[in-house]
Amino acid sequence: MENSLGFKKKPKDTRVVVAMSGGVDSSVVAAKLKSEGFDVIGITLQLYDHGQAIGKTGTCCAGIDINDARRIADKLKFPHYVLNYESRFKESVIDEFAESYLNGNTPVPCIRCNEKIKFTDLMKTAKELKADCLATGHYVRQCFGSNGPELHKATDLKKDQSYFLFATTSDQLSFLRFPLGELESKDKTRQLAEKLKLKVANKPDSQDICFVPNGSYTEVIRKLRPDSNKPGNIQNMAGEVIGRHNGVINFTIGQRRGLRIGGGNPLYVTKIDALNQIITVGPKEALIIRSISINEINWLGSKNFLQAPTNGWEVEVKVRSTKPAVPALVKPISRTEADVVLSCDEQGISPGQACVFYQNGNSRVLGGGWIILKK
């Protein structure tokens, strides 16, 4: 008979490493598994200079959160380790974030953190500790189909985090567990926290990007790249200069505010030429696109990605975490590249964002890639 994590052995003989951020979700995972008798080890990653965030709540892996995770482990009497990954995190996530903005893109660093840190380095550590699996507080579901593990949306679609986990490989999925994915709502998680007598039961959810103080992306980039505020021209779609700006890092595709261009109809950022420091603006309809190109594809489908039907893979795609999925055709170019034809108009899509594939009429995640070009 299988235990709640899917292993055919007793919980006490099943070692599970829990990635503990110090928030209510991962704390509930650790406490719930401990209460069921599993051999739990908690690990918290110190990812950035927590001196800046020691008193800041609503973040991930900041100083106060590390202390919360440690207190829970002490109370429930299971081992807890804090691993300093500051240099690795800076190199793989923060520096790439800054470079992406300097290149005129709009990055999603939380996906890179899951891909390069949590599900790579932390998983390696879990295996070194001879764990049977790594459990996290993400709101997604892992199901085992006829062809192996599958990634699915969470039961609670309002909390679903599958968009941020598209880069998870099949091998990683085999080792991962997501105990909260089946819960009906975040309220259920907090009720569990209260039942388990966790002091973090009413702790606010994480907001914004963990290493961005006060939500100011430009502040972080200026600190990392002091020469990032290079001025340049703002031009209309005819190439006529109509204004000046103080650096491309201050703009994203679809932005309207902060252009400081008076008069006339509303204008939006339609293109960012980072090489020449040029911001192009135009009417809202100029943001409409129906086709995008993507790379770094991670395919989680059951069939060979390159063996797509003549018209491409019929899927649903999300081009933003907060927007609903729309029907699309994914046309493979190589194992890691594809063109995506959308069934309806989309606006404000920017290079650097993720395009995530979902099975039509189903909760299954089929993978995704990074937007490199819009057409």
* Residues 353-369: tens digit of each pLDDT: 999 999 999 999 999 99
For 12-16, 139-143, 206-210, which range has the lowest pLDDT when averaged over its residues? Answer: 206-210
- Report for 36-50, 201-215, 326-340: range of highest mean pLDDT: 326-340
Lowest mean pLDDT among 17-31, 202-216, 320-334: 202-216
* 29 confidence band (pLDDT: 50, 70, 90): very high
Per-residue pLDDT at 243 exceeds 50: yes
| Closest among 162, 186, 57 to 111, alpha carbons compared | 162
Residue 55's pLDDT is 41
Indicate which residue of 60, 113, 133, 355 is catalytic: 113
HSE-up (13 A, CA, CB side) for residue 23: 22
pLDDT at 375: 56
**Per-residue confidence band for 62, with pLDDT thresholds at 50, 70 and 90:** low
Task: Provide CB contacts within 8 A for 192, sequence distance 6+.
Answer: 28, 32, 183
From 60, 110, 133, 210, active-site residue: 210
Q: What is the pLDDT of residue 370?
A: 97
pLDDT, tens digit (0-9, with 9 covering 90-100), for 293-306 = 999 999 999 999 99
What is the pLDDT, as a whole number, of residue 56? Answer: 46
- pLDDT tens readout for residues 36-61: 999 999 999 998 764 443 344 445 55
Active-site residue, 210 included = yes
CA separation for the pair 47, 339 (Å, rounded): 35
Count of beta carbons in the 10 Å neighbourhood of residue 299: 23
Helix axes 186-195, 24-35, angle to 10 degrees: 50
Active-site residue flag, 61 = no
pLDDT tens digits for 257-282?
889 887 788 999 999 999 999 999 99
What average pLDDT does range 83-99 have in this prediction? 92
> Which domains can be identified in the chain, with CATH numbers?
14-214 (3.40.50.620), 231-286 (2.30.30), 288-374 (2.40.30.10)
Percent of the chain residues topping a pLDDT of 70: 94
| Helix axes of 63-76 and 24-35: crossing angle, nearest 10 degrees | 10
| pLDDT over threshold 90, residue 210 | no
Distance of CA 316 to CAs 147, 181, 267, 329, 356, Å? Answer: 21, 21, 30, 8, 8
Compute the mean pLDDT over every residue in the chain, rounded to the nearest whole number.
91
Q: Where are the beta strands (DSSP E) in the chain?
A: 15-19, 39-46, 80-84, 133-135, 140-145, 148-153, 176-177, 232-235, 241-245, 268-273, 278-282, 289-299, 313-318, 326-332, 338-346, 354-359, 364-374
CA torsion, points 133, 136, 141, 142, in degrees to nearest 10?
A: -20
